[in-house]
Structure 1
Amino acid sequence: MPLVSSAPLLRAARAQGYAVTAFNVHTLEMLQAVVEAATELDAPVILQSTTGTVQHLGPEFIAAAARVAADQTHVPVALHLDHCTNFATVVKCIRAGYTSIMIDASMKPYEANVADTRRVVELANAIGVNVEAELGKVGGVEDDISVADHDAALADPDECARFVMDTGVPTLAPAIGTAHGIYKGEPNIDFDRIARIAALVDVPLVLHGGSGIPEAQVRRAISLGMAKMNVATELRIVFTDAIKQVFACTPNVDDPRHYLKPAKDALREAVKEKIRMCGAAGRASEAKGR
């Protein structure tokens, strides 16, 4: 089936109490592994690329590969641009075939964040592309966006409600204590804040920084209103560690297929674990029906 907007997938997830898992991919093998895992588990899935990956591979190549993968599966697949701060890149990715966009102006004052987000929403609404925006600041590092722990600011629930009303954004990523990267200790998620935000806004909420969050905490966040969970760093580590293991055992290997296949296999299993954790296995049909 063709690539789909992530909007109906996330609405179905929020209504039914699970989350669609969104995976950042950087190679063809990673992209294939994600879609293969989702197909095996009959789960809706979101492929994501950061702006750094867009610059590295080109949005047309990424979108073309995603379209082929989507055409070869029965599960709904969306293609999302993650943490983009540049309007020109947003336009370029939409033209290439992306079906979901995150405009991240969370580092700006509220009114500037509203203006940037509304500009993208107005563009995307006309062509059925979903938009995600962030309020507050999620800590950690995502490509060239870095937020120190002391600068990470949690989203205000009342401001979230005002932001959704002011922008018309269909998907919201509020900062609730998670961080990009692997956690040094136990994640400090503000579950009460998630519940308060979910009570005030009816759009699906996004959990950023999903790498390394314990399953019990993931499930609790989903039960409170999170409908999408992003996973990036954990995938890169799994993929890279598998390649390192091949070279550790066979240092003279010079055929990329011999080290990329084990990496792809390892990644597929890691993706299945996250999909099950989010309760999305077996949900493909209801997601398509929204």
Structure 2
Amino acid sequence: MPLVSGKVLFEKANEYNFAIGAFNFNNMEFLKAILDAAEEEQAPVFIQTTESAIKYAGIEYLAGMVHAVKDKYSIPFALHLDHGKHVETILLAIRHGYTSVMIDYSDKSYEENLKVTKYVVSICAALGISVEAELGKLVSVEDEVVSREEVLVDPEQAKEFVDRTGIDALAPAIGTAHGAFKFKGEPKLDFERLKKVKELTGIALVLHGASGVYEEYVEKINKYGGDIKGAKGVPDEELKKAVELGINKVNTDTDLRLAFISKLRELMALEKKVIDPRKFLKPAMEEVKNIVKKRIRLYGSQGKAELFRV
């Protein structure tokens, strides 16, 4: 199946009430691991890059790899720009064959966010490219430094935003955070808020900052010389509940990095005579593949590629 528009993925996931994994990649190893895992699970998937990934590798390399292998796979997948902070980057992604973009002006005023998002939609709609946007701020709100109302999405405002912009998907802030050190205590996702946003908008919803930060990877990294003590993520049970309440795309980046680095640190510590990087990179790539498959099953998207062939 060819590379498809994110619109196709969002519509099916919303219609059949499941979530599609959106996995970040910066290089060939991560890209291959993600697509191979999705193929084996027969799951639709978003493969995505951030602006920092583009700065690191170059969009010609990232998009070029995707387009070079797109006909190798039978599953539907979209090439997505994650957290596009600049309209110029959106236009660059479009020119290089991205089929889905996120315009993230959530750190700006509501009116500016609305205005720029609407402009991006006006460009992408005619090209069949999906647009994701965000409302609220992805920061931990467990402590009392900030109130939940200051950073979490307003459901009524979300409805207005969706109606006025025409976006294909919305990432509502409900209490998740980016990175391995998401929470000081237990996560407090606002499920009632999520439920209300879904009821009012009816649109595909996206969960950012949703990595599990699994203890097995954290322990192995620390064992072999790393120092990421205290890292925590979103428990699987919480994520499952979020999907049940209307999340249709789940972003995962940190878990892939932890899986890769944990295996890399282990091998480099134990195989001291090895100088062939492939001896390290291939097992690390397999570890990424394993975590992608685990997350796909958690989202309920395994076997769902069949829905797109009807």
Which amino acid counterpart does residue 278 of structure 2 have in structure 1?
A: R
Q: Is the 1:8–1:288 Cα contact (8 Å) retained in structure 2?
A: no
- Specify the alignment match of 2:291 in structure 1: 270
Structure 2 distance, partners of 1:215, 1:14, is: 20
Distance 1:287 1:277 in 2: 20
Q: TM-score, normalised by structure 2?
A: 0.88
Q: Please give the per-residue CA displacement for 1:88-111, whole angstroms capped at 9, x wherever unaligned.
A: 111011100111100000011111
2:179 and 2:89 map into 1 onto residues whose CA distance is 24
Report if the CA contact (8 A) 1:35-1:69 is conserved.
no
Q: 2:250 maps to which residue?
A: 229
**Other structure's SS at 2:127 match:** coil
Gaps of 5+ in 1: 141-148
Instruction: Indicate the residue corresponding to 1:106 in structure 2.
Output: 106
SS at match of 1:195: helix
Q: Tell which deviates more after alignment, 7-16 or 254-263.
A: 7-16
CA contact (8 A) 1:171 1:206 kept: yes
TM-score (norm 1): 0.94
Question: What CA deviation, in whole Å up to 9, does each residue of 1:214-259 have, x standing for no partner?
Answer: 2211111111111000001111111111111110111232211111
Q: Which structure has the larger Rg?
A: 2
| Deviation (angstroms), 1:126 | 1.1
1:26 aligned partner: 26
| Whole-angstrom CA distance in 1 between matches of 2:189 and 2:204 | 18
**Aligned mates of 2:73, 2:97 — CA distance in 1:** 18
Give 1:176-215 correspondences, 5 Å limit.
176-182=174-180, 183-184=182-183, 185-212=185-212, 213-215=234-236
Q: Which residue, out of 247, 270, 275, partners 1:254?
A: 275
Displacement of 1:30: 0.5
Match of 1:83 in 2: 83
Distance in 1 between residues matched to 2:6 and 2:200, nearest whole Å: 22
Matched with 1:150 is: 146
Task: Name 1:146's counterpart in structure 2.
Answer: none
CA deviation vs aligned residue, 1:137-163 (integer Å, no higher than 9, x gap): 1127xxxxxxxx738700000000000
Q: What is the rounded CA distance, in whole Å, between the counterparts of 1:100 and 1:124 in structure 2?
A: 9
Letter in 2 for 1:9: L
Q: Which amino acid aligns with 1:14?
A: N
Check conservation: 1:164, 1:201, Cα contact below 8 A. yes
Report the secondary structure of 1:186's partner residue. coil
CA contact (8 A) 2:114 2:165 kept: yes
User: Could you say if the C-alpha distance between residues 200 and 288 of structure 1 is closer, same or farther in structure 2, counting changes exceeding 3 Å?
Assistant: farther
Deviation at 1:288, TM superposition (A): 4.7
SS of alignment partner, residue 210 of structure 1: coil
Q: Deviations over 1:245-285 (max 9, x none)?
A: 11011123221111100110101000000000000000002
Is the CA contact 1:19–1:229 (under 8 Å) kept in the aligned structure 2? yes
SS at match of 2:74: coil
1:158-194 superposed Cα distances (whole Å, 9 cap, x missing partner):
0000000111111100101111113333221000001
Give how far 1:67 is off: 2.0
Partner of 1:11: 11
- Looking at structure 2, the residues matched to 159 and 216 of structure 1 have their Cα atoms a distance apart, in angstroms, of 28
8 Å contact from structure 1 (residues 118, 168) kept in 2: yes
| Counterpart secondary structure, 1:126 | helix
1:53 alignment partner in structure 2: 53
Q: Which moved further from structure 2: 178-187 or 2-11? A: 178-187
Whether contact under 8 Å (1:32, 1:69) holds in the other structure is no
State the identity %. 42
Mapped partners of 2:286, 2:12: distance in 1: 29
Q: Count matched residues.
A: 282
Give the C-alpha shift of residue 60 in structure 1: 2.0
CA deviation vs aligned residue, 1:73-98 (integer Å, no higher than 9, x gap)? 10001111111111111101110011
List 4+ stretches of structure 1 deviating above 6 A.
none
How many angstroms apart in 2 are the aligned matches of 1:67 and 1:155? 36
User: What letter matches 1:206 in structure 2?
Assistant: V
